[in-house]
Amino acid sequence: MSSSRAWGSGRALRTALAVAGVGTLIAGAAACGSSGSEASGGRVQITVTGQPPSTQPFERKVFDADVAEFEKTHPDIDVVPHEGFMDPKTFSAKLAGGQLEDVYYVYFTDPAQIIARHQAADITEAVKAVPQLADLQPRLLDTFRGENGKLYGLPTANYTMGLVYNRELFRRAGLDPDRPPATWDEVRADAKKIAALGNGVVGYADYSKNNQGGWHLAGWVYSMGGEVARKDGDKWVAAFDDDKGRAALRQLHAMRFDDDSMGSKQLLQDADVQRMMGAGQLGMYMAAPDNVPVLVKQFDGKYADYGIAGMPGGQGTLLGGEGYMLNPKATPAKIKAGLTWIQWKYLNPERFEKHVKQYADGEQPVGLPTEPTPDIWQGAVRDRQLAVKQKYANVPAENYQSYVDTATRIQGHVEPPSAQQIYAALDSVMQAVLTDRNANIDQLLSSAASKVNGVLAQVR
Amino acid sequence: MSSPRSGSVLDWPAVSTRAGRRTPTEAERRRSRLRRKIRDNITAYGLLCAALVVFAMFSWYPIVRGVLLSFQQVDFVNPPTWVGFDNFTRLFEDPLFGVAWRNTVLFTGFALVFGFLVPFLTAVLLNELRHARAFFRLAVYLPVMLPPVVTALLWKWFYDPGPGLFNSALHALGLPGPQWLDSSGTAMLSLVFVSTWANMGSTTLIYLAALQTIPGELYEAAELDGAGMWRRLRHVTFPQTRFVLLVLLLLQIVATMQVFTEPYVMTGGGPDDSTVTVLLLLYRYAFVYNDFGSASAMSLLLFVALGVFSAMYVRLTRRADA
């Protein structure tokens, strides 16, 4: 009796709750990952990355306004922007979970590996509908081509490495800020003079951590006229274990230990070096022009205080950049809509003037060889963009003339295959040279070359 | 004829015959017992089921999937392909693999020397205190409350070879300052100091709790026998806290072999790969090279290595419970 009563009240309720709990869990788990793709009214809905974070209010406003304008002019496409750019830590997880955006942002270091892993849609046919494809620099497009010659993405911005320098420190050290160093010997001499100012001022700094050391060492090797990797028949091999590589490392080692012009603190990465430059404690470092707005905005600096010189030596430089690829699981309709968005937003000469004017009106820098005028075009379109840039220029263009002059004639090397793994191997070379007075450069290079050959032999 | 137990008759399937009720068979009795067991415990099973589903989804499934991934190549677009031991072969061919294990064992060794002795001695000292005990306990525990990344960044400044705290103090005393994180000879040891400082609070408190369970009479008896502080430590304190020491030793081995935050934030594995640890290399395989097969293979190897210590820990604690 009593037991049946319990069954009929408390126990039944408890059981029902327990079952409901399990049911909810299972339902919840099943609901995970399901997402709609068709917007209302038969419009194609695409998710896109590249929306600047709210900590960059101007860029965010421009992006959101562009989305609104695009949807107005393309009523059949619904763009759902997602904040952020490329995060390798979440990329594969998002892809596995069906959460990767239809149009996703990549650095030039990523496409080769993404293509090899079949993680991008083949857009060779679909891209034929994109106007101005022929006006893009072919070497940038090649970054997005697979071994099979097919195209998997589009470049939207690029940079070449140069030398960012502090004009104020140049003046204080008795150097002419309008004549930045053009060779590595001049860099060395100038760094010595700047470091002689004392008070913890560093003449030249470089990265050596989290793959950024390897990335910059690649820049050094190119600047000496060398190569990081080269094609040997149908496979890639390491190419930096030669006189060029040795010259680059000897120069760094001499500046660090013989001249003491690189400071004692090493294992730096971009944020550390930018902090030193922003605080007026650093004379020069290797970087792309997009570093200057960062220095000005984050450290309350002035554009007039910074200059950019071309890569010292002038024999070559590292060419990097960014672009967009499409989700391999995207439907043809989404791919078409995605390419329409990329072309309209990033590869649109018709919007050059409007885009640049937005930046000029927002008191953002115009005239630097970076956003809003990335150097991805060739021929007449490039000239058209240059004219717009000059019309709205609001930063002292003469501070960057050396860089611009060099950029037009210097050979840019795109990132090697398996770039991040190669940079990881070269990181340790950079670290040893900058932290070990007795570093054996020959041994470092040959050991790194065998590591890199191992990486290149098993590109997967 | 066995008489049915009271109360259980109702549970048997009643089979009416002309001859009246027949005695149920053993199989029927077993079935009915099972039915009753299920009916009595259905709520418990239901609630347990919820926990099991959560565990299965977020703990067991990822472990099983990780083991499977170790033998697969995945791109998360096409179905996984079985590659046998290729991922393991790839790891063994990576020169950094051996370096990472060596560094990890080195870190664990150093961390045990410092992270085991220092908290124990601190606990002994705290136990001897008569005044301001609460203050010192709090002071010792304070670093544990700092987020690991904050700790790492703070110590990065301490170690700065130029204007850093340590070298500034050494220079003020006219002594040369080492390169700390910037030399492959001292980088690993520098990371051990950080780890010890950050984690010793919890260990110290556990030791302190163990010390306070030692009966005072033992110390009194030892004192009467003329034992000094070191002899009391050796003959009373150590034997009485032996079990806690052993358990914490095993737990520390398991924890320190998984060191990641300090090298990731402070050195990135440098200089010259001297602080690349197993977990840091695993992270690179997964999130830099996007090679989840090799990363899983590496985690499986680490899992097996740590499993030995975990098994020892389980056996120890089981023996203590017995």
Question: Can you give the pLDDT at residue A139?
Answer: 85
Q: Where along chain A do the CATH 3.40.190.10 domains lie?
A: 10-159+320-407, 162-318+412-456
Q: Is the bond leading into B178 cis (omega within 30 degrees of zero)?
A: no
CA closest to B291 among chain A residues: A460
pLDDT (mean) for A226-241? 91
Residues 6+ apart with CB under 8 A from A57: none
Contacts of A363 (CB under 8 A, 6+ apart): A394
pLDDT exceeding 90 applies to what percent of chain A?
60
State the Cα–Cα distance between residues B320 and B313, nearest whole angstrom: 11
Concatenating the DSSP letter of every residue in A97-112 gives TT-S-SEEEEETTSHH
CB A106 within 8 A of CB B306: no
CA distance B27 to chain A (A): 25
346-405 in chain A: CB under 8 A from chain B: none
Question: Which bin fits B319, alpha (ψ -120 to 50), beta or left (φ > 0)?
Answer: alpha
In the prediction, which pLDDT does A458 show?
64
Question: Percent of chain B, pLDDT > 90?
Answer: 36
Closest chain B residue to A199, measured at CA: B163
Position B321 scores a pLDDT of: 59
Say if residues A277 and A267 touch (Cβ distance below 8 Å).
no
Cα separation of A14 and B43, whole Å? 6
Residue type, B316: L
Evaluate the omega torsion of the peptide bond into residue A88 and state whether it is cis, within 30 degrees of 0.
no
* A420 interface with B at CB cutoff 8 Å: yes
Homologous superfamily of B85-321 in CATH?
MetI-like (1.10.3720.10)
A18 has a chain B CB within 8 A of its CB:
yes
φ, ψ (nearest 5 deg) of residue A69: -65, -40
- Residue pLDDT, tens place only, A78-113: 999 999 888 878 888 898 888 999 999 999 988 988
Closest CA relative to residue A414, chosen from A118, A111, A152, A147: A111
End-to-end CA distance of chain A: 70
pLDDT at A32 > cutoff 70: no
Contacts of residue B43 in chain A, CB cutoff 8 Å? 11, 14-15, 18
- The per-residue pLDDT for B13 is 46
Q: Which residues of B fall within a CB distance of 8 Å from A432?
A: 184, 271-272
- Best of B68, B87, B182 to disrupt the A interface (most A CBs within 10 Å) is B182
B4, pLDDT greater than 80? no
- Best mutation target among B11, B61, B76 (most A Cβ atoms within 10 Å) is B76
Residue A185 has pLDDT above 90, yes or no: yes
Three-state DSSP at A327 gives coil
Band (B21; pLDDT cuts 50, 70, 90):
low
Q: Does A214 touch chain B (CB under 8 A)?
A: no
Which CATH code of 3.40.50.800, 3.30.1490.20, 1.10.10.10, 3.40.190.10 fits the domain covering A162-318+412-456?
3.40.190.10
> What's residue B63's pLDDT?
92
Tens digit of pLDDT for each residue in B72-131?
998 888 899 999 999 999 899 888 899 999 999 999 999 988 888 889 889 988 888 878
CA distance B179 to chain A (A): 8
Strand partners, B72: B82
pLDDT at A303: 87
Question: Where is pLDDT greater, at B49 or A458?
Answer: B49
Tokens 């605080």 locate to: A279
**pLDDT the model gives residue A40:** 55
User: Residue A282 to residues A179, A199, B315: CA-CA distances in angstroms?
Assistant: 17, 11, 58
The domain segmentation of chain B, as residue ranges, is 30-73, 85-321
A113 touches chain B (CB under 8 A): yes
CB-based contact A118 B162, cutoff 8 Å = no
pTM: 0.76
B272 to A431: CB separation less than 8 angstroms, yes or no: yes
Tokens standing for B67?
Answer: 């083991």
CA distance B227 to A157: 78
Residues A124-137 have a mean pLDDT of: 92
Contact B73 A264 (CB under 8 A): no
For position B137, what pLDDT does the model report?
Answer: 86
Cα(A451)–Cα(B7) distance, integer angstroms: 77
Quote the pLDDT of residue A104. 97
Residue B195 has what pLDDT? Answer: 92
Q: Does A130 touch chain B (CB under 8 A)?
A: no
Please state whether beta strands A153-160 and A77-83 pair in parallel, antiparallel, or not at all (unpaired): unpaired
Rounded distance between C-alpha atoms, residue B250 and residue A209, angstroms: 33
Per DSSP, the three-state class of A224 is coil
CB contact (8 A) between residue B290 and residue A427: no
Bridge partners of A227, per DSSP, are none
pLDDT > 70 in chain A, percent: 90
- pLDDT score for A38: 53
Superfamily of domain A10-159+320-407: Periplasmic binding protein-like II (3.40.190.10)
- DSSP conformation class of A49: E
pLDDT of B9 > 50? The answer is: no
Q: What is the spatial distance between Cα A169 and Cα A276, in angstroms, rounded to a whole number? A: 12
pLDDT at residue B16 in the model: 45
d(CA A269, CA A400): 24
Among partner residues B45, B77, B269, which is closest to A328 by beta-carbon distance? B77
A258 token code pair: 């013989």
Task: Note whether A377 and A137 are within 8 A (CB).
Answer: yes
The mean pLDDT of chain A is 87
Interface touch A267/B42, C-beta < 8 Å? no
- Tell me if A221 sits within 8 A of A409, measured CB to CB: no
Contact: B290, A91; criterion CB under 8 Å: yes
Size of interface A-B (CB pairs under 8 A): 130
Cα–Cα distance for residue pair B178/B169, rounded to 1 Å: 12
Using an 8 Å CB-CB cutoff, list chain A residues near B267.
209, 267
User: Which residues in chain A are contacts of B42 at CB distance < 8 A?
Assistant: 11, 15, 18
pLDDT tens digits for range A408-421 = 788 888 888 888 88
How many angstroms separate the Cα of A65 from the Cα of each of A74, A104, A358, A401? 14, 19, 11, 33
In whole numbers, what is the pLDDT of chain B averaged over residues? 85
Q: What is the 3-state secondary structure (H, E, C) of A392-426?
A: HCCCCHHHHHHHHHHHHHCCEEECCCCHHHHHHHH
Residue B41 or residue B11, greater confidence: B41
pLDDT (average), residues B230-255: 86
pLDDT of residue A202: 97
Sign of CA dihedral B264, A220, A458, A324: positive
Torsion of CA A207, A212, A215, A216, to 10 degrees: -10
Residue of higher predicted confidence among A259 and B115: A259
Q: Best interface-test mutation with B: which of A264, A270, A429 has the largest number of B CBs within 10 A? A: A264
For residues A350 and A370, give the distance between their C-alpha atoms in angstroms, rounded to a whole number.
Answer: 18
Asked if A211 lies within 8 A of B94 by C-beta distance, the reply is no
The number of residues in chain A equals 460
Considering only CA atoms, give the Rg of chain A: 26
User: What are residue A108's DSSP bridge partners?
Assistant: none
E strand intervals along A101-240 = 103-107, 153-160, 162-166, 202-205, 229-232, 235-238
Write down the pLDDT at residue A404.
83
Query: Which whole number is the average pLDDT over A254-280?
Result: 94
**Out of B46, B93, B287, whose CB is closest to A18?**
B46
Q: Percentage of chain B with pLDDT > 70?
A: 92
Q: Is the pLDDT of residue B32 over 60?
A: yes
Q: Which residue has the higher pLDDT, A313 or A398?
A: A313
